[in-house]
Amino acid sequence: MRVLFIGGTGEISFACVEAAKRAGHAVTLFNRGKAFDAARLGVEQWIGDFADDAAYAGLAQGGFDVVCQFLAFDTQAVERDIQTFGGHCGQYIFISTASAYQKPSQTARITEETPLDNPFWAYSRSKAACEARLLEAHLAGHLPVTLVRPSHTYRTRIPSVVITGDHLVWRLLRGKPVIVPGDGESIWTVTHSEDFARAFIQLFGHDHALGQAFHITDNIGHSWNRLLRAAAHQVGVAADIRPVLTKTLLTYDPNWEGPLMGDKSNSKIFDNGKIADLTGGWQCDISLEQGIARTWPRVAERLNNGFEPDPKLDALIDQIIAEQS
């Protein structure tokens, strides 16, 4: 099939591009073309700015069987997609987010039937609104839609909380303590992008995927304490983990409310039966330790090239630890 990726170079999408190529699809990417060797990967690249309506309108003439939308975050963007791709593609796959699910969750395992209700994070509510508008368009016969909800999916960045994975490793290598919200025992699900991609490309052209939503995640979760210790083990140090109540963290930076209260402070385990049934039994193959080992060379490269964290944020982490010890 002819498959268009809007984006295609990100933490999730790049692995999906590679998987689509391996499956024999003709792949085109629409992006700004920065630091990307399309010829090496064997894909076609249309260079343009997502915000350029004129350049974007030309995508309708591409004759694509599948359009994979990784860059839309609001209803204005998906409204443009409905106008651009309606009648011009066989399937439109929208990348939403599993953070849109109800917080706090009322069930032990999250299914696709769990309500989309996140009062803590505007990003999640915006993605949910995009889903609702796209399903309206699907039901009206304007655009054949499939919705995909990733959770924490990683490829080149080690999973972390409060700070980025690079900042986490930077602190670990210097023997500096790191923070976890609460007692660090909330269960968090991480998925390697290669596992995600194997399921994602099986949605292409699948009639039973139309008008449906799927999350694609691992079936198991890990405590944040274990995640941070796994990162420390990979770099050969011991993690000095300091627990701080989530509500206390928010007094230092209210902007953490969405990522914490609306996502990472909540225990999240997913039931992936729906995607497994559609794909003939797909499941994740890459363990936490294997995934972090695959990620580590890219992290090490950035650190060796002079990575430095935001000094104000690093000082804030030091302040929190000092005051809450």
pLDDT tens per residue across span 72-114: 999 999 999 999 999 999 999 999 999 999 998 888 799 999 9
pLDDT tens per residue across span 299-309: 999 999 999 99
Torsion of CA 289, 294, 296, 298, to 10 degrees: -160
Structure tokens at 109: 């395992």
Residues in the chain: 325
Q: Is residue 274 part of a domain?
A: no
> Is 177 in contact with 240 (CB distance < 8 Å)?
yes
β-pairing verdict for 222-223 and 187-188: antiparallel
Q: Is the peptide bond before 309 cis (omega within 30 degrees of 0)?
A: no
Residue with tokens 């000082």: 315
Q: Is residue 29 part of a domain?
A: yes
Q: Is residue 284 part of a domain?
A: no
**What's the pTM value of the predicted model, to 2 decimals?**
0.95
Same structural domain, 194 and 319: no
Cα distances from 11 to residues 141, 160, 182, 294, in angstroms, run 32, 14, 28, 13
For residue 37, what pLDDT is reported? 73
For residue 31, what pLDDT is reported? 87
Structure tokens at 185: 């025992």
Gap between the Cα atoms of 167 and 175, Å rounded: 12
Per-residue exposure over 238-261, b if at least 16 CB sit within 10 Å of its own CB, e if not:
ebebbebebeebbebeeebbbbbb
Same structural domain, 235 and 88: no
Q: Is residue 123 part of a domain?
A: yes
Same structural domain, 98 and 203: yes
CA 228 to chain CA centroid, Å, is 19
For residue 35, what pLDDT is reported? 64
CA 100 to chain CA centroid, Å, is 12
For residue 32, what pLDDT is reported? 84
Q: Is residue 9 part of a domain?
A: yes
Same structural domain, 174 and 61: no
Gap between the Cα atoms of 275 and 64, Å rounded: 24
Q: Where are the beta strands (DSSP E) in 107-255?
A: 145-150, 152-154, 178-181, 187-188, 190-192, 212-216, 222-223, 241-244
Q: Is residue 272 part of a domain?
A: no
Using a pLDDT cut of 90, give the percent of the chain over it. 89
User: Among residues 7, 307, 319, 251, which one has the least CA distance to residue 150?
Assistant: 7
CA 178 to chain CA centroid, Å, is 23
Same structural domain, 63 and 198: yes
Same structural domain, 60 and 200: yes
Per-residue exposure over 11-30, b if at least 16 CB sit within 10 Å of its own CB, e if not:
ebbbbbbbbbbeeebebbbb
Average pLDDT of the residues of the chain: 95
> Is 240 in contact with 173 (CB distance < 8 Å)?
no
Same structural domain, 179 and 75: no
User: Among residues 194, 196, 219, 211, which one has the least CA distance to residue 279?
Assistant: 196
pLDDT tens per residue across span 17-56: 999 999 999 999 998 877 677 777 889 989 888 988 988 9
3-state SS assignment for residue 149: strand
Gap between the Cα atoms of 324 and 316, Å rounded: 12
Query: What is the CB neighbour count within 10 angstroms for residue 193?
Result: 26
Structure tokens at 199: 């399921």
Same structural domain, 165 and 116: no
Structure tokens at 205: 């052209």
Number of domains in the chain: 2
DSSP bridge partners of 197: none
pLDDT tens per residue across span 138-166: 999 999 999 999 999 999 999 999 999 99
Q: Is residue 305 part of a domain?
A: yes
Q: Is residue 262 part of a domain?
A: yes
Same structural domain, 296 and 179: yes
Gap between the Cα atoms of 272 and 52, Å rounded: 37
Same structural domain, 183 and 194: no
Output the DSSP codes for 79-99: HHHHHHHTTTEEEEEEE--GG
Domain that holds residue 296: 158-187+222-266+289-324
Same structural domain, 61 and 195: yes
Gap between the Cα atoms of 197 and 220, Å rounded: 18
CATH number where 98 lies? 3.40.50.720
For residue 106, what pLDDT is reported? 85
Same structural domain, 82 and 100: yes
